[in-house]
């Protein structure tokens, strides 16, 4: 049965990196992958076209698709818009609408890029961490929220950290299962010494360990986890945490590799439907200059093939092609070092296509 993909180029460098990724997808389809795709706008691009960052057109297409591939959203020209109309709200809305509660953010150091990290090579060489971030709850969505004037006539901002037991259990299950497929170590990150929500988080994740006795569970407060990630990151295998801590720690972890331009991510719902996007943002400063690194998006396509289309062969074919161009010494500006060949965004696309 033909699988339907929704492709959302988004803003900034989004359209360029998606263009290169679609060339790869076209080749796979030409070689027999039973899939088709349709484009829709998200974020600022959607606001420009429809007046809303997650318009009905996009919603319909994404709801009926088997998987969604996204470039990136956001740009300074949208910063003055009313909050509900900003590009980021489009991203949050699609996550919530498709119930994409499980966010996988791998931080892997590619051996060819060992020098890209600002940390000492011995601290990061061989690094392979998976952050499992809860994506549809927590202070991101908790009510009440807003900015209002209090009884003293002073403005007051309010957000609410909130998790239901069932939300913690379902992300816990995903994280334990991921650990079982890897090195069987799970570190749950919380702030249980201060925040009740995460005290309950810790209780639930601990109780679940009896269903996964082969997984070694540890707990860490988020401030310590932030420190340990730069001090001794190789102690981690899988980390599981809530939405806001995961947002922060995943940026930190990605930079250990020195190349956020290389890291894909997947956000899945209970049925394996997913949204796939690079871990980096829309980089408005280099948008439209054919300089961006398309590899994180190409690797996101590989994740899409693996998790939503269950096509391991195609996923590996893409990943191996990326490995090959790195071995050939081709680099976009973000990962460039002396002795390598500097290529453009489309030049990188050419090379991956050739390696495929």
- As annotated, the active-site residues are 140, 191, 223, 247, 251
Rounded least distance, CB 216 to ligand IPM, Å = 28
88 binds, among Mg ion, ligand IPM, none (CB under 5 to 8 A by kind): ligand IPM
Site for Mg ion contains 247 (CB under 5 A): yes
Q: Which residue has the tokens 């807003």?
A: 146
Say how far apart CA 100 and CA 120 lie, in whole Å: 36
Site for Mg ion contains 237 (CB under 5 A): no
Rounded least distance, CB 183 to ligand IPM, Å = 25
Is residue 73 within 8 A of residue 90, CB to CB? The reply is yes
Is residue 336 within 8 A of residue 342, CB to CB? The reply is yes
Rounded least distance, CB 351 to ligand IPM, Å = 28
Nearer to ligand IPM, 10 or 55 (CB): 10
Alpha-carbon dihedral sign for residues 112, 118, 122, 124: negative
For 48-59, what is the HEC assignment? HHHCCCCCHHHH
Nearer to ligand IPM, 8 or 321 (CB): 8
Nearer to Mg ion, 134 or 247 (CB): 247
One symbol per residue from 6 to 45: x for binding ligand IPM (CB under 6 A), - otherwise; what is it? ----------------------------------------
Give the nearest residue (CB) to ligand IPM: 88
Rounded least distance, CB 152 to ligand IPM, Å = 31
Cα torsion at 300, 301, 303, 304 (round to 10°)? 120
Nearer to Mg ion, 247 or 277 (CB): 247
Phi-psi category of 290—alpha, beta or left, where left has phi over 0 and alpha has psi -120 to 50? left
Is residue 87 within 8 A of residue 43, CB to CB? The reply is yes
Is residue 321 within 8 A of residue 355, CB to CB? The reply is yes
Rounded least distance, CB 220 to ligand IPM, Å = 20
Tokens found for residue 229: 């990630």
299 binds, among Mg ion, ligand IPM, none (CB under 5 to 8 A by kind): none
Give the nearest residue (CB) to Mg ion: 247
Site for Mg ion contains 134 (CB under 5 A): no
Among 134, 247, 319, 334, binds ligand IPM (CB under 6 A): 247
Nearest partner of 131 among 227, 271, 263, 307, judged by Cα? 263
Q: Which of residues 80-139 bind ligand IPM (CB under 6 A)?
A: 88, 91-92
41: number of Cβ within 10 Å: 24
Say how far apart CA 145 and CA 139 lie, in whole Å: 9
Task: Write out the residues near ligand IPM by the rule CB under 6 A.
Answer: 88, 91-92, 247
């Amino acid at each position: 049965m033909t699988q339907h993909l929704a492709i959302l180029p988004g803003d900034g460098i989004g359209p360029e990196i998606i263009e290169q990724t679609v060339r790869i997808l076209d080749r796979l389809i030409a070689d027999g992958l039973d899939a088709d795709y349709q484009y829709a706008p998200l974020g600022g691009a959607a606001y420009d076209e429809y007046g809303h960052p997650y318009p009905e057109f996009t919603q319909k297409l994404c709801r009926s698709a088997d998987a969604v591939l996204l470039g990136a959203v956001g740009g300074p020209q949208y910063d003055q818009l009313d909050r509900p109309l900003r590009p980021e709200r489009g991203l949050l809305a699609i996550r919530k609408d498709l119930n994409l509660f499980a966010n996988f953010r791998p931080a892997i150091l590619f051996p060819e890029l060992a020098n890209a990290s600002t940390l000492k090579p011995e601290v990061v060489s061989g690094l392979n961490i998976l952050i499992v971030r809860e994506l549809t709850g927590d202070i991101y969505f908790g009510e009440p929220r807003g900015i209002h004037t209090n009884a003293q006539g002073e403005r007051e901002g309010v957000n609410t950290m909130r998790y239901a037991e069932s939300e913690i259990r379902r992300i816990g299950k995903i994280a334990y299962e991921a650990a079982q497929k890897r090195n069987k170590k799970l570190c749950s990150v919380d702030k249980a010494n201060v925040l009740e929500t995460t005290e309950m988080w810790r209780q639930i994740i601990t109780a679940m360990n009896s269903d996964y006795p082969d997984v070694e569970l540890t707990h860490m407060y988020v401030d310590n986890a932030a420190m340990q990630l730069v001090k001794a990151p190789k102690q981690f295998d899988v980390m599981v945490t809530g939405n806001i801590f995961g947002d922060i720690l995943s940026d930190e972890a990605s930079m250990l590799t020195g190349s956020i331009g290389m890291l894909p991510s997947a956000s899945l719902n209970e049925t394996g439907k997913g949204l796939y996007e690079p871990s980096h943002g829309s980089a408005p400063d280099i948008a439209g200059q054919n300089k961006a690194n398309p590899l994180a998006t190409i690797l996101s396509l590989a994740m899409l093939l693996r998790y939503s289309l269950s096509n391991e062969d195609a996923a590996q074919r893409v990943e191996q092609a990326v490995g090959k161009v790195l071995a050939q010494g081709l680099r976009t500006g973000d990962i460039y070092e002396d002795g390598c060949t500097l290529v453009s965004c489309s030049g990188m696309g050419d090379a991956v296509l050739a390696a495929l």
